[in-house]
Amino acid sequence: MMLQVIFALVPGIIAHVWFFGPGILFQILLACTFALGFEAIILKLRNRPVRLFLGDYSAVLTAVLFALCIPPLAPWWITFTGMLFAIVIAKHLYGGLGHNTFNPAMVGYVVVLISFPQAMTAWLPPSSIAPNSLGLSDALITIFSGHPPVGLSWDALTEATPLDAIRTSIASGQMISEARQSPVFGDFGGLGWEWIANWYVLGGLWLLWRRIITWHVPFTAIGSVLVLGTIAWFIDPGSNPVPMEHVFSGALVIGAFFIATDPVSGCTSNRGRLVFGIGVGLITLAIRRWGGYPDGVAFAVLLMNMAAPLIDRYTRPRIFGQ
Amino acid sequence: MKHDLVKQARSAGEHLYHFHGGLRLRHNKKISCQIPVEKTPLATRYYVPLLQQSGREAEPLVSAGQKVLKGDSLGCFDHFGGGHVHAPTSGSVSAIASHPISHPSGDDGRCVVIRPDGLDQWRELEPVENWEHADPSELRRIIRESGIVGLGGAVFPTGFKVDRASDHAIHTLILNGSECEPYISCDEMLMREQPDAIILGARILQKAVGASRVVIAIEDQMGVVNTALTSAVKTSGAENIDVIKVTTIYPEGGEKQLIKVLTGVEVPSGGRPTDLGLLCQNVATATAVTRAVLEGKPLVERIVTVTGSGVRKPRNLLAQIGTPISNLIDQCGGYAPDAARLILGGPMMGYALASDSNPVIKAANCILVLTEDDIQPPQPEMPCIRCGECARVCPAILLPQALNSSIRSELWEDATELGLADCIECGCCDFVCPSHIPLVDWFRFGKAKLRSLKVEREQAEAARERFEAREIRLERVKRERKQRIANKKAAMQSDREKQQKIAAAIERVRSRKGEDS
């Protein structure tokens, strides 16, 4: 099951490589290595069968999701710290597979986001508009040394993400239309990002078709962002982005299909999942609009994880004959 | 509200409804339906368990060495309004001994061991001459005393069920012929071969409980059954008997699920179909009723499906209760070389037997022999990841994943609130669980625990009541003693006053005398 979720991520990963270079592949590899290492050590410490639990691919999935959330050239110790928190603290200290209250990948991501804000904003521009694109070896050197290759600086390499661009332009009193002049925007979302999101949707639809996930969370998470984003855009198109941009920028699509659908930390009944999805959508939108971070999917998922047991309690289905 | 439900239940079969969840399983029924039902030859020994119906064991009425005729009572039950266990053939009782009884617990129990004399001679039979004019209570008495139980597998005493039903206004009798569990075909073969006996049984049961209609539910995949039953209804001349085809989804044959499909009404949790004016009986139970009433023969045999890729010639057999299962296997050509597991019942709700020396019991609708290839290698149990697949297929609309965690944490109040008692143990959740958690085993454990907790609570309650009664009694004794002392004192007091008055009177007389003199 976890393996199928990883397969479903492959189209999105390919798109990621296409637009932002091969750095992400190293990040995935690195994250998987750390995740499996931590998982093996802590399983040993907890006297659990190591091979059995490594074979369930839950740690690999956590690692892949984490790697897809961080900048492709982030230094290795970011991944290390993220995986340490995700696997050891968020997963195993809460009781291991099936018992974690919070989504491990998102805990790892939020820890590094808060701890290393500088490194976590070092996103690359899509290669089509990048002045300096890095080769394989350069990417590897950057990740392991934590410094850009000789002759280049971080400023020359990185570029604000579309959501960053919107945020800074609104903060400086610009209109959305002015912010959209930036080359990081594409047709209906961020340049490159929109296509990655499309490919994630494809993977997500495959998961739906395979009945690995149900439609409830992705539909309501994206739906609530669309509905509310549309309302906000109608009221004030000057300071609110086009609703489609909300969906196709940032982590909303991967979050809605791959992260908020985590069964362990989410809601278990279908009605509960509807509430959960709406919650994720609303909180994401609120953080993007008023919060201190450009994107809020990770925080939204963690906050809804906290609410999940309560939601489950009040959305129990009616028992046969009662 | 309830009146509306009963009203809706009256329209049983007019429109078909869906129930939540369930599974479409591979049938595997055809392999055992190829040849007609055959009677098993006499065995050398019969082991008739005294535990034959839900509840406790019967008290034996025979002793070792005693001669019995076929149909003689071997033991009687003191619960569920009584009932009997009968001799499957004539012969002598060689012992009442402990023997495996084919119970899910795997335990041994007391069995009446019979050595047949080879004559297979019935006791004197007392058939009812004209059942159409018999008193319903007389019909119910015959059903009760013939040891008839629900032959669908639940083995609840039919006599008790119809007795209880006669207290309610039963409008519709539902005959359950939707044998939804894979492999099992004993009801299908019965409906093909003895449709007239089923229709007669239906009419007798109808009269016994005063129902105005009969609905016979069969599966849409039972081709010839429909024609057989429909023409049997026609020849019987009976009105108000409908044969209804339902879609085959496991566990459609469950009483509550079938009623939901036929009427759209859910039997209230903790309630019974009789609350809705419905009585549900298995088709094989109906034929047993026909035999009991029209021929005077108690329930001593049943049709058993012997099937699975582990037997050479799968088929259906008419077997006497108490026949060792190995006899049936032999009659089906013996085991295939790679036979690996012997199961009593179907693949979903059945249980594995330790040995084929176990006897055929009234609940034995199927003997399933699986091979190594059929049995999936035991998968290691993984933690629940709350994927909710189990909740999707649960026909009782429970949340098995939540029940599982509450039972494991021994949170019995939570488990009760989550509807543990409403679980029908169909095994759908087990079947789909990606973590291979034996959910139904946990639910059975939880139910047993709840029962024992209830007994403990009742005992504690009784002890408290006894204590309180004692306190009240002691208090009363104390009060009475006080009262007695007080009464005595008062009496003494008044005695003293009297004496004083007398003395005063004497004094007065004296002084008057003194004045006179």
Q: Does residue B43 sit within a domain?
A: yes
Q: Does residue B375 sit within a domain?
A: no
Q: Does residue B9 sit within a domain?
A: yes
Q: Does residue B333 sit within a domain?
A: no
Q: Report how many helices (DSSP H) and strands (DSSP E) chain B contains, helices first.
A: 14, 17
Residues of A in contact with B419 (CB under 8 A): 319, 322
> How many Cβ atoms sit within 10 Å of the Cβ of residue B204?
23
In this complex, how many residue pairs, one in chain A and one in chain B, have their CB atoms less than 8 Å apart? 73
Residue with tokens 């079947």: B431
Residues of chain B with pLDDT under 50: none
A96: left (phi over 0), alpha (psi -120 to 50) or beta: left
- Portion 68-127 of A in contact with B at CB < 8 A: 96-99
Q: Does residue B464 sit within a domain?
A: no
Minimal Cβ distance to A321: which of B267, B386, B387? B267
Residues of chain A with pLDDT under 70: 127-135, 149-160, 162, 164-167, 169-192
Rounded CA Rg of chain B: 32
Cis peptide before B251 (omega within 30 of 0): yes
Burial label for B402, CB within 10 Å (0-12, 13-18, 19+), is buried
Q: What are the φ and ψ backbone dihedral angles of B356, each rounded to 5 degrees?
A: -90, 10
Residues of A in contact with B422 (CB under 8 A): 319-322
Tokens of B324: 């060792």
Tokens of B61: 């009425």
Q: Does residue B395 sit within a domain?
A: no
Residue with tokens 């795997």: B106
Kindly report the nearest CA distance between residue A86 and chain B, in angstroms.
Answer: 17
Are A316 and B418 inside 8 Å of each other by CB? yes
Tokens of B422: 């409403």
Residue with tokens 């291991």: A96
Are B391 and A317 inside 8 Å of each other by CB? yes
User: What pLDDT does residue A211 have?
Assistant: 87
CA distances from B285 to A87, B87, B103, B133, B332 (A): 58, 19, 20, 22, 25
Are A56 and B419 inside 8 Å of each other by CB? no
Q: Which runs of E-coded beta strand occur in B276-399?
A: 278-282, 301-307, 315-320, 339-344, 351-352, 366-371
User: What pLDDT does residue A133 have?
Assistant: 63
Tokens of A127: 């290669």
Q: Can you tell me the distance from the alpha carbon of A217 to that of B260, in angstroms, rounded to the nearest whole number?
A: 30
Q: Can you tell me the distance from the alpha carbon of B195 to that of B449, in angstroms, rounded to the nearest whole number?
A: 43
Q: What are the φ and ψ backbone dihedral angles of B99, each rounded to 5 degrees?
A: -155, 155
Q: Does residue B390 sit within a domain?
A: no
Are B386 and A56 inside 8 Å of each other by CB? no
Rounded CA Rg of chain A: 19
Identity of the residue numbered B69 = L
Q: Can you tell me the distance from the alpha carbon of A14 to that of A255, in angstroms, rounded to the nearest whole number?
A: 18
Q: Angle formed by the axes of helices B195-209 and B223-236, to 10°?
A: 60
Residue of A nearest to B434 (CA): A1
Residues of B in contact with A317 (CB under 8 A): 391, 397, 399
Domain that holds residue B178: 2-320
Contact A304, A280 (CB under 8 A): yes
ipTM confidence score: 0.82
Contact A193, A162 (CB under 8 A): yes
Are A268 and B397 inside 8 Å of each other by CB? no
Q: Does residue B172 sit within a domain?
A: yes
Tokens of B196: 């007239």
Q: Can you tell me the distance from the alpha carbon of B345 to that of B336, in angstroms, rounded to the nearest whole number?
A: 19
CA distances from A125 to A142, A145, A166, B133, B178 (A): 16, 21, 15, 94, 64
Q: Check which CATH number belongs to the domain holding B147 and give it.
A: 3.40.50.11540
Residue with tokens 């039979």: B125
Task: Say which residues have a Cβ less than 8 Å from residue B343's Cβ, sequence separation at least 6.
Answer: B308, B350, B351, B352, B353, B366, B367, B368, B369, B370
Task: Inform me whether the C-beta atom of residue A1 falls under 8 Å from chain B C-beta atoms.
Answer: yes
User: What pLDDT does residue A199 have?
Assistant: 86
Are A269 and B399 inside 8 Å of each other by CB? yes
Contact B156, B261 (CB under 8 A): no
Q: Which runs of E-coded beta strand occur in B44-200?
A: 46-49, 59-60, 67-68, 73-76, 84-86, 91-100, 108-116, 172-177
User: What pLDDT does residue B339 have?
Assistant: 87
* Residue A290: strand, helix, or coil: helix
Minimal Cβ distance to B266: which of A96, A264, A320? A320
Name which of B263, B387, B422 to mutate to probe chain A: the one with the most chain A Cβ atoms within 10 A of its Cβ.
B387
Long-range contacts of range B330-337, CB-CB < 8 Å, 24 or more positions apart?
Answer: B331/B38, B331/B40, B331/B41, B331/B306, B332/B306, B335/B310, B335/B311, B335/B369, B336/B309, B336/B310, B336/B311, B336/B312, B336/B369, B336/B371
Number of alpha carbons in the 13 Å side-chain half-sphere of residue A263: 27
Name which of B385, B409, B435 to mutate to probe chain A: the one with the most chain A Cβ atoms within 10 A of its Cβ.
B385
Burial label for B301, CB within 10 Å (0-12, 13-18, 19+), is buried
> How many Cβ atoms sit within 10 Å of the Cβ of residue A165?
22
Residues of A in contact with B275 (CB under 8 A): none
How many domains does one find in chain B?
Answer: 1
Q: Can you tell me the distance from the alpha carbon of B197 to that of B218, in angstroms, rounded to the nearest whole number?
A: 16
Are B20 and A320 inside 8 Å of each other by CB? yes
3-state helix, strand, coil in chain A (%, to 5): 65, 0, 35
**Among candidates B296, B351, B321, B281, which has minimal Cα distance to B51?**
B321
